[in-house]
Amino acid sequence: MERANNINYLIKNVSSKQELKKALDFFKMIFKGMSVVNNPEYSFKKWEERMENHGDLMLYASLDNEVIGIVFGSIHDDHSITIRAVAVHEDYRSMGIAKKMIFLLEKRAIHYGVHSITLGAVESAEKFYSKLGYTGSLLIQSQIHSIDQLLSLNNRYKVKFTNIYDGKVSQVCLELTEPDRALQKEYEATFPGCYTQMMYWKNIGTIS
């Protein structure tokens, strides 16, 4: 049990369908109206599959049997974990709840032998992840434009990687430690339908 600002809460693994439903209902409440809610990668079925394989990376904070925060991670491949959802109820923010869950997930991630953790950040959370030791990069993606088109606009930053996601989404990732809002706006204005987001990553050790 953790104590923050005189409240007692538990950090638990999602280990049943009932717990998963409560956690995802909370997620949908926090991100209501955002496209991520309807993303197939965030469906109940997809998270249920992940729960069976690595449910200890799907954490939630509980107070009086109510979900007040979640940090859901999934193994992206053999070498990295993606934190796909981070949220804390507005009444309990700035109490260190998300920080404790992320650090716990990092400790557990080591046991899977992965080398890094990555996550996407909303603008209001970027400084938070930087303080936790995560390094920023800018992800630019489009289903309409080619990688060469997306690369043509960048003359300032080193390219971290390029990729065709799911066979149809062009992705370009640029290395930059601080957000460049002007560049993001330029991309979105130049290439209508293009989406940009700051991504954060951290290298972690492994246990032999």
| Amino acid 137: pLDDT | 95
Q: Is residue 154 part of a domain?
A: yes
Residues 155 and 80 in one domain: no
Separation between Cα atoms, residue 100 and residue 97, nearest integer Å? 5
Separation between Cα atoms, residue 30 and residue 34, nearest integer Å? 9
| Amino acid 186: pLDDT | 96
Q: Domain residues for 172?
A: 135-203
Residues 6 and 108 in one domain: yes
pLDDT in tens, 1-20: 444 556 789 999 999 999 99
Q: Is residue 83 part of a domain?
A: yes
Domain count, the chain: 2
SS3 47: helix
Percent of the chain with pLDDT over 70: 94
Contact 60, 12 (CB under 8 A): yes
Q: Is residue 129 part of a domain?
A: no
pLDDT in tens, 85-135: 999 999 999 999 999 999 999 999 888 888 889 999 988 899 999 999 999
pTM for this predicted structure: 0.85
